[in-house]
Amino acid sequence: MPHAHPPLPPAPFPAPSHDHARCVATALATAETLCGERGARLTGLRRQVLELVWESHGPIGAYDLLDRLRALRSGAAPPTVYRALEVLMEQGLVHRINRLNAFIGCAHPDAPHEGQFLICTRCGTTAELDEPAIAHAIEQRARALGFAVEHRTVEVTGLCPSCRPG
Amino acid sequence: MPHAHPPLPPAPFPAPSHDHARCVATALATAETLCGERGARLTGLRRQVLELVWESHGPIGAYDLLDRLRALRSGAAPPTVYRALEVLMEQGLVHRINRLNAFIGCAHPDAPHEGQFLICTRCGTTAELDEPAIAHAIEQRARALGFAVEHRTVEVTGLCPSCRPG
DNA sequence: AGACTATATGTTATAATGTTTCATTCATGA
DNA sequence: TCATGAATGAAACATTATAACATATAGTCT
């Protein structure tokens, strides 16, 4: 059994009608497991924030998260959200989309990585890729210039299969 | 003479000691020419802002620009800078680095394009690439997923040749 | 030139995003 | 149980960006 893949994450662009509650539940369960293995603490607050991030179908801003969090925790303030997000990002459970000043649940949190994102400008649905060809193309050119890569940000906007005409 | 290249822009990572005043002068002259050809108006203000952007060796934030601009125009306010930057970006004379909330002069303003950036985290020097292999790797994967690309953001941090050890 | 028009800039206020600081609470282990 | 460090609460503040409206300037037409 050379390829014992873990259960596959949702397809890059899930059907608009998919059972998103299930995505959320799976993501939370995975997060619990990973944090358990790592000795990281997925506290009530962090779990709530992660759940809110996942409940959004696309990237969601910190202040939108804050609004939603306040329904659960009346005293929530900006640092409440930002601190939780910081930990979640450290654990690779959430990614930041710089272009949008927004956050999204990581589709492949098992191993640390930096995602590559395809962001639909119409419906907001965002697919996370982890495409070696892209990373290699960047790495190769950087190396040729003597540049030692630390972090790669790849954020692509456009129209997802459901939104594009034709 | 099949390849009548325009004068080459500075190498991706210019030596720290290079004559930057010359870079600035060249960039401004090019901007004048391009705007003239296009019927775009490179006003005094826009020219000043473009010059300030170029005078910085790396990406520079809008409020840093504003501080410097105020030495030239006492009444300058945030919109003064942002509006100038907007026009300069429309003309492809300046790029925005989302990761840094900062702006940088475009190295190849002749044709419209989206740059790919290698940003040194130590000295701030930033190289602009326009590497088809990177764009193609992204394009190909997107196409395979049925995603129609509009804009590509590629921002890579790391250490430039002058700053990296060894 | 004079009047008209569109563009550009000045000015003030405000929105949106993100951080610092210090106090308090909570979990954990000696 | 008490000491410790981590997590959260709470208030203020910093940074980045835009909205709205007034004024000025440049280009055009007659």
Residue A146, min C-alpha distance to chain B (Å): 5
Q: Which of B151, B74, B72, B75 is nearest to B114 (CA)?
A: B151
**Full pLDDT tens readout for chain B, 166 residues:** 444 444 444 468 888 888 999 999 999 999 999 999 999 999 999 999 999 999 998 999 999 999 999 999 999 999 999 999 999 999 999 999 999 999 999 999 999 899 899 999 999 999 999 999 999 999 999 999 999 999 999 999 999 999 998 7
Residues 102-131 of B with CB under 8 A from A: 116, 118, 120-121, 127, 129, 131
Report CA dihedral (B93, B97, B100, B102) to the nearest 10 degrees: 20
* Tokens found for residue A111: 């191993």
State residue A5's pLDDT score. 47
| Residue with token string 């985290």 | B121
**Cβ atoms within 10 Å, residue A111:** 8
Answer for the pair B91, B111: CB distance below 8 angstroms, yes or no. no
Protein residue minimizing CA–C1' distance to C26: A43
Q: Which fold has domain A20-158?
A: Arc Repressor Mutant, subunit A (1.10.10)
- Judging contacts by C-beta atoms under 8 Å, the chain A residues touching residue B136 are 137
Q: Which residues on neighbouring strands pair with residue A118, listed in sequence order?
A: A127, A156
> In what helix (H) or strand (E) does residue B21 lie, and over which residues does it extend?
helix B20-38
- CB neighbour burial string for A131-163, b if at least 16 within 10 angstroms, e if fewer: beebbebbbebbeeeebbbeebbbbbbbbbeeb
Domain segments of chain B: what residues? Answer: 20-158
CB–CB of A156 and B137 under 8 A? no
Three-state DSSP state, B102: strand
Amino acid letter, A155: E
Q: Give DSSP secondary structure letters for chain A.
A: ----PPSPPPPSS--TTS-HHHHHHHHHHHHHHHHHHHT----HHHHHHHHHHHHSSS-B-HHHHHHHHHTT-TT--HHHHHHHHHHHHHTTSEEEEGGGTEEEE-S-TTS----EEEEETTT--EEEE--HHHHHHHHHHHHHTT-EEEEEEEEEEEE-TTTS--
R_g of chain A, CA atoms, integer Å: 17
> In what helix (H) or strand (E) does residue B99 lie, and over which residues does it extend?
none
Question: Residues with Cβ < 8 Å from A16, sequence gap 6 or more?
Answer: A123, A125, A162
Q: Is the CB of A101 under 7 A from strand C?
A: yes
Give nucleotides in strand D with any atom < 7 A to a protein C-beta: 6-13, 15-20, 27
* Tokens found for residue B118: 């290698």
- Judging contacts by C-beta atoms under 8 Å, the chain A residues touching residue B96 are none
Answer for the pair B27, B50: CB distance below 8 angstroms, yes or no. yes
**CA A4, CA A45: separation in Å to the nearest integer?**
33
Torsions phi, psi for A43 (to 5 deg): -70, 175
Q: How far is CA A8 from CA A14, A37, A53, B20, B69, in A?
A: 12, 20, 20, 51, 53
CB–CB of B141 and A131 under 8 A? yes
State residue B165's pLDDT score. 87
Please give the residue of chain B at the shortest CA–CA distance from A132.
B137
Contact of A12 with chain B, judged by CB distance below 8 Å, is answered with yes
| Spatial distance from the CA of A31 to the C1' of C29 (Å) | 26
Ranges of chain A with pLDDT below 70: 1-11
